[in-house]
């Protein structure tokens, strides 16, 4: 087991990882930008190093500075969290060259799985139903030819990265040229890779994902499904587990398929397989995230398994000490992402309490939300024995959560969880566009 880990991230996920390390008796090293000098993750860590200016390119994406900080601190491993360098094979390889363990999949797996078009072929060969699509297309003209064969509407998607960036819905050939320019430009800005591919647009559909843990000994366990259909512009707003759209038989079957597929591709670490669920109940594989998901905590609340701790154990060579039969998907958990609507400085924070209520955040009084990073302030999660009780609990928690000085989406989240379409469980990816 590691004795010291550097956390190459910021905000709530850096705090989350540091707390997990503390509970495991592992010393922590924080890195921070000039804008985050007074951040909570810096205060909680045993050591901390400023690695550059406020822009992410100057700090949290600065590979050499992060490696230098790890070497200087004597860290044995680096946890990248999510975003930033979490899916960067070059950084993972750089860690290895400097004798530092990257807490995540090996660089080769990351490279193979980072190209979503290539990944789909791997998963098709592994037995999953895959959305019809292409490999990377090199021009708008090539994209039009591919879309004509697949049939409109289609999605234009970045081959690298995630988080809803570099994605455009194409209704006809007339829309392609402008959308291609926008998607490639956005992909270059977000991921440093402008390659895109085409896939069939499945409509209406729900976004359902499966959380996987896989160790170096070949053991693979799925920690159930998450419904992530509440999205705006491909950005998730609310997640719940289990999905109200999936019955026990369907869940058992897709879990079995996903576990076997992950075994066949030889993946190691925490990962998430993302699917579209059509109105006939068919699962269509979209992509795999080779990192910790933002919404991992809603799965933790349902299953009781600490995914961050298991990431660390797996990276240190420790095998999973539980099997698929040990994973009990009983009850319901709901997560609301609390985002800043604009910049500001926190003047007051009141966090809701009570049994099975959790708020993952880095907020402390005086925290300033800057324009340099993601707008996520925290994640409010509840668990209950039934979905009905979980709905009541998340409403109560949202009403109790107070954040002053920073405009937030708390009221909007409360309106969503009170919407009849959400309370009934009969919603899909069109929910926000139809409000």
291 is catalytic: yes
Residues 16 and 41 in one domain: yes
Q: How many domains does the chain have?
A: 3
CATH number of the domain that 373 lies in?
3.30.470.20
pLDDT of residue 430: 94
Closest alpha carbon to 390 in 335, 334, 337, 352 = 334
For the chain, the straight-line distance linking the first and the last C-alpha, in angstroms and rounded, comes to 49
Pairing of strands 402-404, 348-350: antiparallel
Q: Is residue 69 part of a domain?
A: yes
Q: Is residue 120 part of a domain?
A: no
Residues 182 and 212 in one domain: no
Would you put residue 304 in left (φ > 0), alpha (ψ -120 to 50) or beta? left
Q: Report the C-alpha gap between 148 and 142 in whole angstroms.
A: 10
Helix (H, G, I), strand (E, B) or coil at 286: strand
Q: What is the pLDDT of residues 328-369, one digit of tens each?
A: 999 999 999 999 999 999 999 999 999 999 999 999 999 999
CATH number of the domain that 12 lies in?
3.40.50.20
Domain range spanning residue 399?
A: 205-434
Q: Is residue 360 part of a domain?
A: yes
Residues 215 and 196 in one domain: no
Examine the fold and report which residue of 171, 200, 229 is the final residue of a domain before the chain moves on: 200
Q: What is the pLDDT of residues 19-75, one digit of tens each?
A: 999 999 999 999 999 999 999 999 999 999 999 999 999 999 999 999 999 999 999
- Catalytic hit among 10, 16, 165, 291: 291
Residues 196 and 210 in one domain: no
Residues 428 and 303 in one domain: yes
Tell the burial category of 316 from Cβ atoms under 10 Å away from its Cβ (0-12, 13-18, 19+): middle
Q: Is residue 127 part of a domain?
A: no
Q: Report the C-alpha gap between 356 and 241 in whole angstroms.
A: 14
Residues 371 and 280 in one domain: yes
Q: Report the C-alpha gap between 335 and 325 in whole angstroms.
A: 25
CA 200 to each of CA 12, 68, 156, 331: distance values in angstroms, whole numbers, following the listed order: 35, 44, 9, 34
Residues 157 and 261 in one domain: no
Q: Tell me the pTM.
A: 0.92
Q: Is residue 399 part of a domain?
A: yes
């Amino acid at each position: 087991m590691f004795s010291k880990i550097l956390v190459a991230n910021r905000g709530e996920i850096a705090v989350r990882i540091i707390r997990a390390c503390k509970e495991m008796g592992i010393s922590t090293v924080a890195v921070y930008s000039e804008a985050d000098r007074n951040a909570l993750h810096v205060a909680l860590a045993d050591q901390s190093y400023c690695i550059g200016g406020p822009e992410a390119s100057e700090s949290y994406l600065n590979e050499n500075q992060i490696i230098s900080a790890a070497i200087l601190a004597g860290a044995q491993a680096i946890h990248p969290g999510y975003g930033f360098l979490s899916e960067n094979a070059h950084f993972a390889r750089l860690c290895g060259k400097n004798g530092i363990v990257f807490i995540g999949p090996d660089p080769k797996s990351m490279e193979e799985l980072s190209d979503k078009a290539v990944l789909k072929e791997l998963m098709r060969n592994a037995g999953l139903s895959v959305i019809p699509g292409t490999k990377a297309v090199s021009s708008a003209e090539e994209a039009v030819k591919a879309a004509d064969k697949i049939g409109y509407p289609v999605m234009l998607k970045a081959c690298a990265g995630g988080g809803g960036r570099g994605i455009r819905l194409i209704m006809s050939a007339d829309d392609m040229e402008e959308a291609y320019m926008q998607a490639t430009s956005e992909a270059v800005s977000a991921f440093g890779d402008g390659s895109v591919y085409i896939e069939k647009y499945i409509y209406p559909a729900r976004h359902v994902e499966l959380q996987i843990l896989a160790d170096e000994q070949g053991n693979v366990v799925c920690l159930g499904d998450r419904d992530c259909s509440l999205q705006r512009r491909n950005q998730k707003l609310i997640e719940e587990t289990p999905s109200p759209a999936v019955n026990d038989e369907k869940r058992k079957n897709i879990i079995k398929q996903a576990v076997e597929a992950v075994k066949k591709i030889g993946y190691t670490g925490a990962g998430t397989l993302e699917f579209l669920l059509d109105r006939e109940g068919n699962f269509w594989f979209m992509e795999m995230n080779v990192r910790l998901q933002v919404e991992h905590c809603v799965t933790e609340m349902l299953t009781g398994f600490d995914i961050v701790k298991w990431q660390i154990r797996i990276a240190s060579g420790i095998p999973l000490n539980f099997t698929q039969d040990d994973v009990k998907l009983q009850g319901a958990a709901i997560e609301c992402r609390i985002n800043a609507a604009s910049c500001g400085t926190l003047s007051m924070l009141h966090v809701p309490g009570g049994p099975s209520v959790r708020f993952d955040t880095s907020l402390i009084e005086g925290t300033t939300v800057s324009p340099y990073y993601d707008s996520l302030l925290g994640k409010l999660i509840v668990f209950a024995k039934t979905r009905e009780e979980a709905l009541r609990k998340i409403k109560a928690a949202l009403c109790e959560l107070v954040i002053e000085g920073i405009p937030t989406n708390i009221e909007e989240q409360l309106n969503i969880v009170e919407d009849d379409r959400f309370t009934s469980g009969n919603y899909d990816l069109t929910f926000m566009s139809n409000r």
